[in-house]
Structure 1
Amino acid sequence: MSLSGAMRTAVSGMNAQANRLGAIADNIANANTAGYKKVDTQFSSMIMPATNGTYNSGSVGTTTRYSIDSQGAFSYTKSSSDLAIDGEGFFVVSGPDGSEYLTRAGNFEVQSDGTLENAAGYTLMGYPYSSQNDPTIVINGFDGLTAINVSSGGMTAIGSSAGTLQANLPAGAAVGDVSKTSLVAFDSQGNARLLDVEYTKTGDNAWTVAMSYEGETVLDPVALTFDTDGELISPDSLTTLPLDLAGTELASLDIDISGSSQLGAAFEVMTGKIDGSAASDVSGYEISADGVLSLIYANGKVEPKFRIAMANVQSPNNLTPLPGNVYAASNDSGVVVIGYAGGGSFGEIMDSALEDSNVDLAEELTNMIQAQRIYTANSKVFQTGSELLETLVNLKR
């Protein structure tokens, strides 16, 4: 056996264990990195053919294998912008260079412009919300994606369209007696409009009801009839006329009056409410399991705005890892397929949660001890070869 060959083999062994230690160091350093996927070092032998009965020592090579498809445990947080994927798939994020990447790191924070950026500086991407159209499956591309923005809705107002008005009309009123009340409705721009309601006794068990806004009629007198028990016979509801109001509109209102009565008591409104609301700004947001991001307005309106994009590849472990805990597609990973959470091969999105690193510290420390021992053993082989070579050289002295 060649002494120099044995020394070269020992050196390759030390290099291999040094590579393994480098991978272990990365894993331990990122044990608390959200969405981090551990790396393993795989070994392969390189055997040299024997010649004339002489054994030629070979060497050992290393390759790197990533466990990207291995899901980590979940940690729950108090931040609704923290996101985790329960199942397969990746978030699509845009880097500082404007290119799109894949990641499992969902520790996003809302920025001053309303976008969601994770700890590595990558911006969460998605599609404008549509209740009818799924995204077109994209091969090797991210066309149509836009940055998710939780403050893009601006202010909003909800115009009134329906309501309820239930009143008791005094059974002892004389013909011609009038009872009045009012209701607040909102026009299409969120301005409050006060509607005057007027009930007039027209006969036994008979009244009319009319409505107006600042003297303009929105409901011509409608006859109300009651039975001998004072319960309303007809009609069950009222429909007002729409009004054009200097660039805005008060829409037609459907008002339920079915609970009205005529009893021997004073005029009283039991229920009087109209839907709609004044103009208000965004007060928060919520993210559903299928990735729909809805803006919540101060007036209570919830409006879907974006749908978070998900991506996957045929062989996730062959993705190319890049700085910032992100991945890019490679020839071996297969093409990137875009979709939505909860559909196909894509997992569901969990808010107020983070996927932990899949590093097992006990396993890594065990591997570190093994690497140390094997490195030391290889160094002993090198040292022994060096001593034998020195002995061989000294034979000439």
Structure 2
Amino acid sequence: MSLYGTMRTGVSGMNAQANRLGTVAENIANSSTVGYKKASVQFSSMILPTTAGSYNSGGVETDVRYSISSQGTFSYTTSSTDLAVNGDGFFIVQGSDGVDYLTRAGSFVVQDDGTLQNSAGYTLMGYEYSSTVDPTIVVNGFDGLEAINLSSAAISATASTVGALNVNLPSNAEVGDAETTSLVAYDSQGNSRLLEFTYTKMADNTWEVSAEYAGPPATSVIAATTVTFDSDGQIVSPTSLLTTAFTVDGAEMGALTLDISTSSQLAADFSVEEGEIDGNAASSVTGYKINEAGVVSVVYDNGELVPKFRIALASVQSPDNLNPIAGNLYTQSNDSGVIVMGYAGTSGFGSIVSGALEDSNVDVAEELTAMIESQRNYTANSKVFQTGSELMETLVNLKR
């Protein structure tokens, strides 16, 4: 039986080296694939029971492993939606079947429907952004995730609601003297509306502030307030100016609350120390910006940056034991551990790099070396098989 065992051992060795050559071929073929993690074959001996008078040769077993936890280098691009994770974590993407997967391949492109899809056609998932608090995240699952969709951001107009107008009024002005300034506000349709403010001295430490909308179609008073100062020239009351809402050309110019709390009355010329109002005119999208925390913002042609979504990341205790599937995707396995969700930059997760892609972690020179080794080892094992075959033939011919 030992001759048959010798041949089986040779075949086992050839199969093992063939498996190794298979991973080498796959690694070299994907050496330029974004986010690809190299495969390798681990060898272990297979021992068969023997008797005192006969040795039973065993063989070799192979186990294919993926270096998923090994990060590749970065290649920088000109697209802000090309993403890489610097550190631990995986993007969550969803296929057309509605199933969520993990990936490190971040070559995302904005589609006609506003979604971000990578080169394999999987959609990037995240949470709708909130300026006050991070979206509640389901730590141990994909519940609550939604496709990052920028289709609603094609054009934007924001009506003005608050602002600030802090000035210095000359304390040496005569009663009846007046000073004027103006601010631009935006109505509900994004039209700019010019608001004029007039400061008239009524008495010592007392001024009247009036605000007018300077048409068309007509000029209308939208605020009138008496402002008083103390003996040091600091404002006493009021600390804010409230205008009334009005309708013009079918659009609503809402009420404005303007902070005037740091206005002063000092022996200096009239000056505007602070003058601003929120809101913006109708603006089209010029691009997108994604910061290292994964906040996806829309850039408008007026320079405004509006955050819309936040990218979620996932991690597992043993990423090298994830199940790899086609498209540079991974799914959870019994050995990988549970999936933990989080955000970039938080504990256990790396940061997101915009305008970059993670390269394959394949070293082509190392793979070519492994290919030569496997070729030589395959040949050596074939010689063992050939020798066993020749000896078997000799044994059969003994009876002739």
- Answer whether TM exceeds 0.5 for this pair: yes
* Residues 143, 268 of structure 1: alpha-carbon distance in 2 compared, 3 angstrom cutoff: closer
Question: Structure 1 stretch 73-82 or stretch 272-281: which is displaced more?
Answer: 272-281
* Residues 186, 386 of structure 1: alpha-carbon distance in 2 compared, 3 angstrom cutoff: same
What code does the residue aligned with 1:279 have? A
Match among 332, 340, 346 for residue 337 of structure 1? 340
What code does the residue aligned with 2:296 have? L
- The 5-angstrom pairing of residues 34-183 of structure 1 reads 34-130=34-130, 131-139=133-141, 142-154=142-154, 155-164=156-165, 166=167, 182-183=182-183
- The 5-angstrom pairing of residues 254-273 of structure 1 reads 254=258, 256=260, 258=263
TM-score normalised by the chain length of structure 2: 0.85
* Residues 160, 300 of structure 1: alpha-carbon distance in 2 compared, 3 angstrom cutoff: farther
Q: Which residue of 2 aligns with 1:362?
A: 365
Using the aligned pairs only, state the percent identity: 56
> Post-superposition shift, 1:64?
0.9
What code does the residue aligned with 1:316 have? P
CA–CA distance in structure 1, aligned partners of residues 39 and 369 of structure 2: 15
- The 5-angstrom pairing of residues 242-261 of structure 1 reads 242-245=244-247, 248-254=252-258, 256=260, 258=263
* Residues 261, 250 of structure 1: alpha-carbon distance in 2 compared, 3 angstrom cutoff: farther
Are the aligned partners of 1:226 and 1:261 in contact in 2 as well (CA < 8 Å)? no
CA–CA distance in structure 2, aligned partners of residues 301 and 53 of structure 1: 86
CA displacement 1:286-329 (0-9 Å, x = unmatched): 22222121223333433322111111222211111100110111
* Residues 6, 178 of structure 1: alpha-carbon distance in 2 compared, 3 angstrom cutoff: closer
- The 5-angstrom pairing of residues 173-322 of structure 1 reads 182-200=182-200, 208-213=208-213, 214-220=218-224, 222=226, 239-245=241-247, 248-254=252-258, 256=260, 258=263, 274-322=277-325
> Post-superposition shift, 1:271?
7.7
**Secondary structure of 2:152's aligned partner:** coil
**Secondary structure of 1:314's aligned partner:** coil
Aligned length: 390
Are the aligned partners of 2:153 and 2:285 in contact in 1 as well (CA < 8 Å)? yes
CA–CA distance in structure 2, aligned partners of residues 62 and 270 of structure 1: 75
What code does the residue aligned with 1:161 have? V
Q: Which residue of 1 aligns with 2:395?
A: 392
* Residues 387, 128 of structure 1: alpha-carbon distance in 2 compared, 3 angstrom cutoff: same
CA–CA distance in structure 2, aligned partners of residues 145 and 97 of structure 1: 15
CA–CA distance in structure 1, aligned partners of residues 392 and 152 of structure 2: 75
CA–CA distance in structure 2, aligned partners of residues 334 and 258 of structure 1: 61
> Post-superposition shift, 1:365?
1.6
CA–CA distance in structure 1, aligned partners of residues 207 and 19 of structure 2: 92
Question: Unpaired runs of 5+ in structure 2?
Answer: none
> Post-superposition shift, 1:125?
0.6
Are the aligned partners of 1:115 and 1:147 in contact in 2 as well (CA < 8 Å)? yes
Are the aligned partners of 1:160 and 1:187 in contact in 2 as well (CA < 8 Å)? no
CA–CA distance in structure 2, aligned partners of residues 232 and 135 of structure 1: 48
CA–CA distance in structure 1, aligned partners of residues 31 and 219 of structure 2: 72
> Post-superposition shift, 1:353?
1.6
> Post-superposition shift, 1:195?
2.2
> Post-superposition shift, 1:179?
6.0
Question: Structure 1 stretch 357-366 or stretch 247-256: which is displaced more?
Answer: 247-256
CA displacement 1:195-241 (0-9 Å, x = unmatched): 2334546578976442222443222263678999xx88777966132
> Post-superposition shift, 1:14?
0.6
* Residues 251, 391 of structure 1: alpha-carbon distance in 2 compared, 3 angstrom cutoff: same
Q: Does 1:23 align with 2:26?
A: no
**Secondary structure of 1:281's aligned partner:** strand
Are the aligned partners of 2:83 and 2:352 in contact in 1 as well (CA < 8 Å)? yes
> Post-superposition shift, 1:146?
0.9
CA–CA distance in structure 2, aligned partners of residues 323 and 242 of structure 1: 61
RMSD (Å), alpha carbons: 3.1
Are the aligned partners of 1:156 and 1:297 in contact in 2 as well (CA < 8 Å)? no
CA–CA distance in structure 2, aligned partners of residues 324 and 372 of structure 1: 29
> Post-superposition shift, 1:57?
1.7
CA–CA distance in structure 1, aligned partners of residues 85 and 230 of structure 2: 60
> Post-superposition shift, 1:247?
6.2
CA–CA distance in structure 1, aligned partners of residues 53 and 298 of structure 2: 78
* Residues 153, 396 of structure 1: alpha-carbon distance in 2 compared, 3 angstrom cutoff: same
What code does the residue aligned with 1:295 have? V
Are the aligned partners of 1:151 and 1:282 in contact in 2 as well (CA < 8 Å)? no
CA–CA distance in structure 1, aligned partners of residues 49 and 180 of structure 2: 108
What code does the residue aligned with 1:156 have? A
> Post-superposition shift, 1:81?
0.9
Question: Structure 1 stretch 46-55 or stretch 268-277: which is displaced more?
Answer: 268-277
* Residues 67, 239 of structure 1: alpha-carbon distance in 2 compared, 3 angstrom cutoff: same
Are the aligned partners of 1:160 and 1:188 in contact in 2 as well (CA < 8 Å)? no
CA–CA distance in structure 2, aligned partners of residues 268 and 59 of structure 1: 91
**Secondary structure of 1:217's aligned partner:** strand
Are the aligned partners of 2:30 and 2:36 in contact in 1 as well (CA < 8 Å)? yes
